[in-house]
Amino acid sequence: MAAAYAALVSLTHTLDQILSPPPHHHFINFDRDQINFLREKADFLIDYFLENHSNTGGDHKEIEDLETRIRVAAEGAESVETSTSNNLLSEGVRTAIQQFHSIEEELVKIKKYVQAKISITTEAASSSRPLLPIGENTMVGFDDHLIQIMGALSTDESNLRVISIVGMGGIGKTTLATHVYNKPFIVQHFHVCVWFTVSQEYTEKEILLGLLRQINNTNRDEQKTGDDDDDYDDDDDQLGNKLHKTLFGRKYLIVMDDIWDIKVWEMINRFLPDNNNGSRIMVTTRLLRLAMDIGSCSPYQLNLLDEEQSWDLLSQKIYAEKRCPVELEEIGRSIAKKCRGLPLALIVIAGVLAKSKTENWKYVEEDVTSAVRNQGDDFCMKILSLSYNHLPIYLKPCFLYFAAFPEDFDIQVSRLIRLWVAEGFIRKCEHKSLEEIGEEYLKNLIERNLILVDKLELTGEVKTCHIHDLLSDLCRIEAQKDNFILTGKLYNHLDTLPNTETRPTRLSINGGKWKGMKRTPYRPPTRSFLSFSSRDSTDYTARRFPLLRVLDVVEKCPKDEILQLMNSRYVSCTGSISMSSSILSRLWSLQTLVVVDRELVLPSEIWQMPQLRHVEGDSIILPDPPPPDDVHKIILLENLQTLSTVEDFKCTEAVMKRIPNLKKLEIICGTIGSNRLSNLGLLHKLEQLSMLCCPCGGEIVFPNSLKELRLHGCKIPWEEMSVIGSLPNLQVLVLFKNAAIGQKWIPNEGEFARLKYLWIHQCELEIWEADNTHFPCLEILRLGYLNLKEIPSEFAEILPLQKIRVDYNRNNDLILASANEISEQRENLGYDGIQRGINLAVGGDGRIGDPYVVITIGNQVLCSY
């Protein structure tokens, strides 16, 4: 059902573009009435069949056949845009209309059956139930283990110890380890804290690189997500020696989550030094024998929850801090009991119940009862499948798309949603962008406990996410059943793929190397090709996949390959690209263009592409827009939201007016005059702005919509910082390397009213006079390479303040003294030590593992190195 729905929605996007093509794209003649009629047929099937009957489960042969016919017809109709002949286009549209008409007749015949199978657990239009904060994992029943493991990690025993957590899939091993890992006491106890998830398909190089990258990140709470391939050419022993050298002499904690094979431990253990300083390794695994073989002490075995614990977990996930209504407690306890004490099953069912009308809980109970009765030991997968069956149809393609990503892969949310948009999963809605709707879809999946949050942006939005391995298995099973996507988990040889019209149109290389690419024949149905195989050439070619809409690869994409991707909506690749006007004019459907590592040179025709949504590169050369004339009329790029990173950006009024809805802008090495910086205020939707090496003398205007501002080398005098402090929505401010100049900063009252994160680095600042009215919402303060003499003592009264991080400064002793004073003041004010304590890290260059001192309220030094 998901594949059919996705094909129909994607078709509507394509037909809309045919009906309203870009001005420079001269489409062949076509019958507009026929296209409109086909569009109406597609909308009918979406509205009256798929959406209204999305939870039938596809368990009836007639319905399954109908879904296949819908999908094949929609995908066939969508290919008409590639036609270069008016006759072929007209014939293709007529054929599609006939197919849809036949489907409608069949729909009428089975309508009564379909209506009888409509799920009665449809999502309530609104719900007053409070949900747990995004990213918060509830833990029930493991408090004793938590205390014992924290004790084992922090004991005075100096030799290197390995602590193992063992239990079946879904029982909560990772949740328990996460709670331990994130405890402030544990964070403060070690120089280096690293978390690494080991997939079932691994290489020694991937594990070593992963560990090194995390250790070398500058801040444990702000880990970078991009790959750093500087060490990729090293062999395994070289990488292992680097790991050993990096950890040598430091007190470290390494968490290796979800180990399946003793070989993983054997290959990594030889590079982990025993520094005789209390370093620890924590391992989670499903295999007791493996845990006993590698552990220094008896494994912590997690047992299934009892009935009361099961009900506690279920009710907490549904109602958060509120109590379950008395009239629902009996049936709720019955459902909890049937989940057999498995936390993952309870959490997923809680997601179903939280989105269901309360009068329909009895039907959920019947589904759970059936799952337990019929599946025996495989009850967990059957219960998890209930969560998929109860999803609204518009969420099913989005959920199945997680099958495209490798196991245990941290997925960038921005990338994920752009892919959803390019795949055509998201229907248009007035007053909202497709990306905003996609964010709502993801939030819905998170609230249903199907997707887990990894990291949050400083502004609170979800930055990266992933899927539990058992739910990932479910995702792949359902994707295979629905012919939604083929991954390396299913096929290892491309030349063995079925070449039929019912074959999945999406291919993903995410499980090792695919073979047979060179022998792969012409395969017209393929619309999406994703590769996560770093440094392993896939030898893909657009000639084999001429209808590609999505190309997301880590390899270089030759220019002649892009030239043939006439239907592409999404292209992400590596390497320098210089696009001529002839290339760009062919890419009339292009929405997202991402080029990593090299230069991206764009022609002036970029300003004639209103369908563009995101353009990203390490260095983009963007030409001036052409002047309007009879041939080139002024076109507003109203869909463009991201432009990053542009060399010598021309901040003219003409440019600003052409990109009215831009949300993210990054520019470097500009030669912007003072009269042009005021034009930034014309970008009324801009939320993120980064300016590198742009002297900003004279008048400057920032739009009030800004949430994040990063400046480098802009040389704004401190006395003129009100232009930033007055921004009403600003939450993140980074001032780097002479972004601000002068020795004294006295903010004005009421400024920086919503600022949560402030980082000042390598700026001329010695005296800072401020109080709690200037930064009332500040949560994190980071200072580095300054001549600052003290932190304003009034900061003790900033209630939300959680952390002060100090990198190397000339006056570290003075800053340390002011931090002690702030700690004492906060204690006197009665602030909770855990929630309102201040962490001060003082070190060489601020990297993890450098010597530092951690201070909490009351001058209590928890650790000193």
pLDDT tens digits, 12-30:
888 888 888 776 665 556 6
When the pLDDT of each residue in the chain is averaged and rounded to a whole number, the result is: 79
Q: What is the pLDDT of residues 580-622, one digit of tens each?
A: 656 676 788 899 999 887 778 888 888 988 999 999 988 888 8
Q: What is the pLDDT of residues 378-436, one digit of tens each?
A: 778 888 888 888 888 999 999 999 999 988 889 999 999 999 999 999 999 888 999 99
Same domain, 804 and 838: yes
- Domain boundary residue among 346, 377, 408? 377
Same domain, 240 and 343: no
pLDDT, average across residues 36-52 = 77
pLDDT, average across residues 477-488 = 86
d(CA 643, CA 604): 15
Same domain, 806 and 721: yes
Same domain, 260 and 369: no
User: What pLDDT is stored for residue 582 in this prediction?
Assistant: 63
- Domain boundary residue among 247, 270, 301? 301
User: What pLDDT is stored for residue 839 in this prediction?
Assistant: 44
Q: Among candidates 748, 722, 636, 646, which has minimal Cα distance to 682?
A: 636
d(CA 528, CA 545): 9
- Predicted confidence (pLDDT) at residue 260 exceeds the cutoff of 70: yes
Detail the DSSP E strand segments found in 557-684. 570-574, 577-578, 592-601, 614-621, 642-647, 664-668
Q: Among candidates 471, 516, 507, which has minimal Cα distance to 488?
A: 507
User: What pLDDT is stored for residue 62 in this prediction?
Assistant: 65
Q: Residue type for 338, please?
A: K
Q: Among candidates 439, 441, 437, which has minimal Cα distance to 413?
A: 439
Same domain, 364 and 227: no
Q: Which two structure tokens, joined as six digits, stand for 150?
A: 């924290």
User: What pLDDT is stored for residue 58 in this prediction?
Assistant: 46
Q: What is the pLDDT of residues 638-694, one digit of tens each?
A: 999 999 989 888 888 889 999 999 999 999 866 555 457 788 999 999 999 999 876
| Range of lowest pLDDT (187-201, 405-419, 803-817) | 803-817
Q: Range of 358's domain? A: 307-377
pLDDT, average across residues 743-756 = 93
Assess if residue 609 is contained within a domain. Answer: no
Whole-model pTM: value is 0.82
d(CA 183, CA 196): 17
User: What pLDDT is stored for residue 100 in this prediction?
Assistant: 82
User: What pLDDT is stored for residue 558 in this prediction?
Assistant: 62
Which one is predicted more confidently, 1 or 125? 1
Q: Checking phi first, is residue 715 left (phi over 0); if not, alpha (psi -120 to 50) or beta?
A: left
Model confidence band, residue 296 (pLDDT cutoffs 50, 70, 90): confident
Three-state SS at 656: helix
d(CA 342, CA 377): 12
| CATH code assigned at 836 | 3.80.10
Assess if residue 447 is contained within a domain. Answer: no
Three-state SS at 381: helix
Contact 856, 836 (CB under 8 A): no
d(CA 697, CA 677): 9
Model confidence band, residue 860 (pLDDT cutoffs 50, 70, 90): very low
Same domain, 723 and 804: yes
Same domain, 178 and 58: no
Same domain, 327 and 284: no
Percentage of the chain exceeding pLDDT 70: 75
Model confidence band, residue 850 (pLDDT cutoffs 50, 70, 90): very low
Number of folded domains in the chain? 4
Instruction: Provide long-range contacts, Cβ within 8 A and 24+ apart, for 170-173.
Output: 170/342, 170/343, 170/344, 170/345, 170/380, 170/468, 170/470, 171/302, 171/304, 171/342, 171/343, 171/344, 172/139, 172/141, 172/142, 172/302, 172/343, 172/344, 173/257, 173/258, 173/284, 173/285, 173/286, 173/302
496 secondary structure, DSSP code: G
User: What pLDDT is stored for residue 226 in this prediction?
Assistant: 39
Three-state SS at 485: coil
Assess if residue 55 is contained within a domain. Answer: yes
Same domain, 282 and 154: yes
| CATH code assigned at 312 | 1.10.8
Q: Checking phi first, is residue 262 left (phi over 0); if not, alpha (psi -120 to 50) or beta?
A: alpha
| CATH code assigned at 241 | 3.40.50.300
User: What pLDDT is stored for residue 729 in this prediction?
Assistant: 96
Whether the link from the prior residue into 645 is cis, omega within 30° of 0, is: yes
Give me the residue label for tokens 């009213």. Answer: 753
User: What pLDDT is stored for residue 837 in this prediction?
Assistant: 37
- Predicted confidence (pLDDT) at residue 65 exceeds the cutoff of 80: no
Assess if residue 346 is contained within a domain. Answer: yes
Q: What is the pLDDT of residues 711-737, one digit of tens each?
A: 998 889 999 999 999 999 999 999 999
Assess if residue 282 is contained within a domain. Answer: yes
Assess if residue 633 is contained within a domain. Answer: no
User: What pLDDT is stored for residue 433 in this prediction?
Assistant: 94
Same domain, 240 and 282: yes
- Highest-confidence segment of 27-36, 205-214, 548-557, 651-660: 651-660
User: What pLDDT is stored for residue 110 in this prediction?
Assistant: 64
Assess if residue 687 is contained within a domain. Answer: no
User: What pLDDT is stored for residue 670 in this prediction?
Assistant: 61
- Highest-confidence segment of 31-40, 554-563, 694-703: 31-40
User: What pLDDT is stored for residue 135 in this prediction?
Assistant: 54
Model confidence band, residue 245 (pLDDT cutoffs 50, 70, 90): very high
How many other CB atoms are found less than 10 A from the CB of residue 257? 20
d(CA 250, CA 215): 11
Same domain, 104 and 50: yes
Q: Residue type for 582, please?
A: S
Same domain, 860 and 726: yes
DSSP 781-803: EEEES-------GGGGG-TT--E
- Domain boundary residue among 377, 403, 438? 377
d(CA 803, CA 220): 13
